[in-house]
Chains A and B, each alone.
Chain A
């Protein structure tokens, strides 16, 4: 008989409502009561130039601090704590930019898998456009992250252009590179799942580094695995959960925990194992 932990039960209940949970978090990020707490970062990818942004974007802040050669203690400390607690769970359940891509993925179009190596591009974006280019070339460089970021284009430039068009003013277009990236992004999200998160997101790259050691993780129990590979069908991101349950490319949508045999279950680090025989922590790749 399959024995479930309380966390597994909770995850099973919440899984069908994931999009609603992501949508509910919009109330936190979209500043419905006009707090504008821009002296603090949120843990999600949401442009601070957006008129509806409660917190500052951590990536924007790191890049800007890099440009003025100051270490962002608050932002780094915050991201380390959030990453150590949740890892990429933030990407899968909380991030508004992830929600947008998840909604686009619901449109019934052919979906293409991205090659595994593309996941490493996120680290290139993080090191290049967020750290190195701002530090050495300043925030005026055309490849400075905020100058190419599709979140900024979508959440600030597009509303501004619409406002200018409605008011009959001259439209101020974003730079050609930013516009191209935005258009590409808006097309690609219908044909592959979470392209930004999996290929280019620098915040996702930071959180992914914590996946193997975060307090929240996915436990793989070899005793319960029947090698039916059902989890391969559940995972929409081309990861093999039974080989690498806490893979850096995982956004922790927790779909793999639907495993009928409970071989893959959500777990918390500082909690005594509830299910019998679940002492197997995770299997390394």
Chain B
């Protein structure tokens, strides 16, 4: 692709920006995930939006268990920081 051509570059830039903005808005407004509590006998599912999930992963608060479900790694007070 010829990046020296201004028109091509503007088109690519606009497409990328639109794509990025659309993906961002989708993630903020529409994307959510179900998270199971830490206790295996508790089946109360919590739905977390993506920003909430970002906060959870930033403290190592969510893991995918052997059955393929997302499960919280703590009960009660959230950890202060990511354990890694």
CB-based contact A77/B84 at 8 Å: no
In the assembled complex, the CB of A277 is this many whole angstroms from the nearest CB of chain B, namely 15
Give chain B residues whose Cβ lies under 8 Å from the Cβ of A39.
51-52, 54-55
Number of A interface residues at 8 Å Cβ cutoff, please give it. 48
Shortest CB-to-CB span from B17 to chain A, Å, is: 5
Alpha-carbon gap, A35 to B35, bound state (A): 25
Chain A 17-34 interface residues, beta-carbon cutoff 8 Å to B: none
Any B CB within 8 A of the CB of A41:
yes
Complex: how many Å from CA A15 to CA B53?
39
The one of B4, B55, B84 in contact with A139, judged by C-beta atoms closer than 8 angstroms, is B84
Query: Hey, which chain A residues are within 8 Å of B70, CB to CB?
Result: 68, 70
Q: Is the CB of B20 within 8 A of A74?
A: no
Question: Which residues A70-87 have CB closer than 8 A to chain B?
Answer: 70, 72-81, 83-85
* A residues in contact with B33, CB < 8 Å: 70
Contact across chains for A74 and B64 when beta carbons are under 8 A apart: no
**Which residue on A lies nearest to B10, using beta carbons?**
A269
Task: Please determine whether B13 and A215 come into contact, CB atoms closer than 8 angstroms.
Answer: yes
User: Taking CB as reference atom, which chain A residue is nearest B50?
Assistant: A74
Q: A-facing mask of B12-31, CB < 8 A → 1, else 0?
A: 11001101111111111001
Which A residues between 265 and 285 are near B, CB-CB below 8 angstroms?
269-270, 281-284
Contact of A49 with B by CB under 8 A: yes
Interface residue B58 (Cβ < 8 Å from any Cβ of A)? yes
Known: A80-B23, A214-B13. A49 touches B52 (CB 8 A): no
Chain B residues whose C-beta falls within 8 Å of the C-beta of A138 in the assembled complex: 64
Residue B53 contacts which of A70, A77, A81, A85 (CB distance < 8 angstroms)? A70
B57 in contact with A74 (CB, 8 Å): no
CA separation between A284 and B1, bound complex, in Å? 11
The answer to whether A80 touches B20, judged by C-beta atoms less than 8 angstroms apart, is: yes
Residue of A nearest to B84 (CB): A146
Chain A residues near B63 (CB, 8 Å)? 67-68, 139
B residues less than 8 Å from A284 (CB atoms) = 2-4
> A39-B55, A68-B64, A74-B51 in contact; A283/B4 too (CB < 8 A)?
yes
The chain A residues found within 8 Å of chain B, CB to CB, are 38-41, 48-49, 51, 56-57, 60-61, 64-65, 67-70, 72-81, 83-85, 138-139, 144, 146-147, 152, 156, 210, 212-215, 269-270, 281-284
